[in-house]
Structure 1
Amino acid sequence: MVTTVTLQPPFEYYWWVILIAAILAAAAIAIVLYVLNKYFHIFSKLFSKPKSQIKTPPAKLLYQIKEDYIGQLQQLSLAYGSRSMDKRTAYQRLSLLIRGFVKEATGINVENYTKAEIKAFGIRHLDNLMEEYYVPEFAEEERASGRDFVNSCNIALGVIRTWS
């Protein structure tokens, strides 16, 4: 006895059913992420800028701070000119001086911040000043060879003198 079986065609999804399912899944994920962020503040910590209050010292104190760091920068430039230190060491000391000045002038301890984090503060001329010492301080000797340390010191002096 021969039996024939006829199979039904497989169940096919129409494109609009798949589209609706994808939209519902995306909406469900968005709602879950919104609720998690609302209660646990997950994403606000990831995308927030550094928070700090920039404290400007009184004009007399700022003048003293500026004069102190101008003197230190001039001594550093003279020490480099007399060949008592190499270029990398000089740029590292320049970095410390600039970061120390910013800390005293604004109250922000920028010693542990990266260049991008410092730029996020939006302090005028500070990002240009950091460009002067950042590459020579951390780069290999051949990348720092095109930089003139005395010129970098003069740029730093100009920024400190015009700091307000």
Structure 2
Amino acid sequence: MGAEPWYLAPQSYSVYWPVLGGFALLALLIWAVVVWFLTRRPEEGLDAPMPPQAVTRLRQRALGRIDEIEKAVAAGEMPARRGHHELSRTVRGFVAEVSGLEADTMTAADLRRKGPARLAEVIESYYPRQFGVDESERPSIGAGASAARDVVGGW
């Protein structure tokens, strides 16, 4: 037998593997930045304001709907509970269309934090009449409709 070693001598690493690993990490970093920029929400407040004519038209439509609701409840065609629900929906929809604030899907707490104070007060005043144990009474619709007119008319 010869004096040949029975093991292999250590091999040196090629420079290509660390460079390839560095490029892979750089590619992952670039991919993460691209995904982050593509999925960001657009900045708020960059939308163009609604033309005054459109706001006036939406206001008239909302005020007309408030009148219809009040008359339907007063005539007994609609329960007062549903009337308050419709008032809330009308006011929330008007604010959402005019301002872009997602008032139609916001809770009362969200409205207090992000919305105008008067809107939050009006919506909160409807809650006991909409979701209370007892059916609200017909005379209560007058105060609710008046508050809705104040919010819509003052917008």
Query: What do you get for the CA RMSD once the two structures are aligned?
Result: 2.4
The correspondence for 2:133, drawn from 140, 146, 153, is 140
Q: What is the match of residue 65 of structure 2?
A: 72
C-alpha displacement at 1:109, in angstroms? 2.4
Alignment of 1:106-145 (within 5 A): 106-141=99-134, 144=136
Identity %: 22
Structure 1 residue 150 and structure 2 residue 142: aligned? Answer: yes
> What is the 5 A alignment of 1:1-164?
53=45, 56-141=49-134, 144=136, 148-163=140-155
Equivalent AA in structure 1 for residue 141 of structure 2? F
> 2: distance between equivalents of 1:141 and 1:93?
18
Shift of 1:112: 2.3
Relative to the length of structure 2, the TM-score reads 0.63
Q: Distance in 1 between matches of 2:115 and 2:96?
A: 15
CA contact (8 A) 1:54 1:106 kept: no
Q: Distance in 1 between matches of 2:60 and 2:53?
A: 11
Q: CA deviation digits over 1:42-93, x for unaligned, max 9?
A: xxxxxxxxx9549642221111111110000001100011001111111111
CA–CA separation in structure 2 for the residues paired with 1:59 and 1:127: 24
Larger Rg belongs to: 2
C-alpha separation in 2, matches of 1:64 and 1:157: 15
Alignment gaps of 5+ in structure 1: 1-50
CA separation of 1:131 and 1:147: change in aligned 2, threshold 3 A: farther
**Closer, same or farther in 2 for the Cα pair 1:100/1:54, shift >3 Å?**
farther
- Answer yes or no: is the 8 Å Cα contact 2:74–2:138 preserved in 1: no
| TM-score, L = length of structure 1 | 0.60
Counterpart CA distance in 2 for 1:54 and 1:83 is: 45
